[in-house]
Every structure is written in structure tokens, then in C-alpha cells.
Amino acid sequence: MALEPVAYQPYRDPDDFIREVTDRIWVDRDVDHIVDNYEPDSVVHVALGTITGRDEVITGSTMRMAASALQPGSMPGQAADVVWEARGGDAFLSSHLVFRAEDQLHAGRLCHVELHSVANCLYRRGRMVEEWIARDGLARALQTGQDPDELARGLVFRGYSGSWVERAPADPLAEGDSGPRPDDYRAECQVVLELVEEVWNKRNFARLKDLMVRDVFLHSSGGRTYIRPKGYQDETLRPLLAFPSGRFEVRDLQTNYAIRYAGLRISVLWKFVAPYDGQPLYGPTTNQPVDLLGVSQFLVQEGKIVRERRIYDEVALRAQINAARGDGAEPSDVTPNIYFF
């Protein structure tokens, strides 16, 4: 699927486009460029719900920059990976992994914080159409000494709309939430999709030895890293204690091969759907479903998974559970901008 220059002009390619546009907005602090970058009716899905229109993105970005400027060791984020794939001749879907390392002041104490986030962005003719953002709120809480439950009580879960509440794509190899995709690296994509279905959903952890290398790395929620299939099993099982019947829906995937990023990476946008009816790890159970947005970026070499970067927000998950239980924050008590968190 050949990509026309109109999809990423005036930059060299989509990788260059994503890195330079992000720096212009977040490093140069050109907030006004969001007006040129986002369609007026663009849709953004974050951990606390769906945003329709770019105005909330503009105000939320301004608030995030202002909050960062107040920190003594504020540093800009940096692209750790850009997994992009064409969506027709004039569009592309990117999965932009961002890393930040800085010193932040919390409760009179200087904390060194290292955070990963990922933005899956659908650009058409150089303009943002739809975006899915995953941030690791738990890592921020743990590294700054804040109580995740207390943080969650100050958040409001707005809920989702648009594509995120529609039926999951029947064949994500052919078409995801972002539209039809090229049939690139089919065998490697099937390895990743088999991992999701056989291991994540069917809990057949014996299949891991066929799908990943012995020395696999899993970088997961809370900024924690797990190694070898045993560590991978333990971290994948952990959420199921509270959500034993949970299932993962693959909403989208894209592939990209680049030596700069160690070869073939496959990004998967997923939704975890489950009733909160297991162990009460997040307060009293509700038996109500959660709707968790996450992104996993896989590095695949010689047909096997060697690394996964799994990002989702466990603090926002708590806020969603609080809302279902009826003891969450009132909108009048917190900032209404869900892009800010």
C-alpha cells in the first residue's frame, strides 16, 4: 500500500512527521499548532472516556504544560518508538511511544520520575482524525509516593462513545477501528494475535514457549519490568484476580520495520472487558463491567516475541470502578478536562 506524500508533508515520512509535530507542540510549546494539526471534529479516547472536538485537547495540553513548568526538573518527552502503517494512500496510523524522565516535587520531596505513554493516531492528509491514548498513571503514583486509590477518588470517569463502543473488528488482520490495513508481516501478526487469544483470553500459558523467546522482557503497568516466560505469566495473570472472566478485544494493529527501533514492531490497540466480580482489590466488587483501554507494542525477531511494552492506566481503572459503584468524585469537585490527567 503506497503512501502518498500528502499524508505526511512537509516532513520526510510519518516517523519524522510524528516526532517533529510532537516536539513543536510539547517542546517548543506551540499549543496553537494543535489547531493546524487536529481536525475540528477529531475524536480522542483516553483512560477516562472520549473527547469530541479539539478544544478540550487544546485546554488540556495547556494545563499539562503549565503543570510541568512548575516542576523544578521539568524535561520534555522523547520518542522511544513510532510504529506507523498506511491506511490507504493519504492516511497512516501511528503508535507513538513517548518516554519522560524528570524530577518532580511532591509533598516537599523531590522525586525522580520515569514515565511511558503511547498515542495511537490516525492522520488523514496530515490532519488528526482519531486518537487513542494510554498512559501509566500507576507508575506516576508509585514513583511520587501518592496513593493510587486517593488519586482515583479525585477523578471522574466520563465514559466512552464513538468507535470505542462499537463491536470489535471481526478480523483485525484485515481491518481495525482505523479502517482497512495492508496485509504486511502476516505470519508475525498471527503470532501476536495467537498470544492474545490463546494466552491472554484462553489462559493457555503453555503456549508461551512457542510464541516468545526464553529471555523475553515485559515492561508493564506501574513502570515494572518482568523477565522470562514465568515473569510474563505472573504479570498477565495479576489483573485476573479481580477480573477472572475478563477478555481482551483487539481493536487495531499496525506493523513497522525499522533498524532504528531494532527491527519489526507490532502495535496492538486492545480493550479489556470484564465484570468486576473477583477479589476486591479496588474496593467492594460491583459485578459491573470495566472498559479498559490499552496498547501493547511487541518487538518480534525471527518469528518470536522478544519484548512487549504494555501500557494502561490502573488509576483511571479505579476511577471507572468508583463511578460504577456510585462513590466516585462529583464533576463539580474536579477539573472537567479528562485530557489533562
User: Residue 18 has what pLDDT?
Assistant: 98
Fold of 5-162: Nuclear Transport Factor 2; Chain: A, (3.10.450)
Tens-place pLDDT, residues 284-295? 999 999 999 999
Using CB atoms within 10 A of its CB, is residue 197 exposed (0-12), middle (13-18) or buried (19+)? middle
Specify whether domain 175-317 bears CATH 3.40.605.10: no
Q: Do the domains spanning 5-162 and 175-317 agree at the CATH topology level?
A: yes
User: Residue 105 has what pLDDT?
Assistant: 87
Work out whether strand 109-124 and strand 91-106 pair parallel, antiparallel, or are unpaired: antiparallel
What are the E-state strand segments in 187-276? 212-220, 224-227, 247-258, 263-275
Neighbours of 93 (CB within 10 A): 28
User: Residue 75 has what pLDDT?
Assistant: 83
Per-residue pLDDT of the chain (341 residues; tens, 9 = 90+): 689 999 999 999 999 999 999 999 999 999 999 999 999 999 999 999 999 999 999 999 999 999 988 888 788 899 999 999 999 999 999 999 999 998 988 888 999 999 999 999 999 999 999 999 999 999 999 999 999 999 999 999 999 999 999 999 999 999 999 999 999 999 999 999 999 999 999 999 999 999 999 999 999 999 999 999 999 999 999 999 999 999 999 999 999 999 999 999 999 999 999 999 999 999 999 999 999 999 999 999 999 999 999 999 999 999 999 999 999 888 777 878 999 98
User: Residue 1 has what pLDDT?
Assistant: 60
Cis peptide before 10 (omega within 30 of 0): yes
What mean pLDDT, rounded, does the chain reach? 96
Domain borders along the chain are 5-162, 175-317
Helix 137-144 / helix 314-325 crossing angle, nearest 10 deg: 100
User: Residue 73 has what pLDDT?
Assistant: 79
Neighbours of 160 (CB within 10 A): 16
- Compute, in degrees rounded to 10, the torsion defined by CA atoms 81, 163, 337, 73: -10
Residue 205: φ, ψ to 5°: -75, -10
Helices assigned H by DSSP within 40-181: 55-69, 137-144, 148-152
User: Residue 335 has what pLDDT?
Assistant: 77
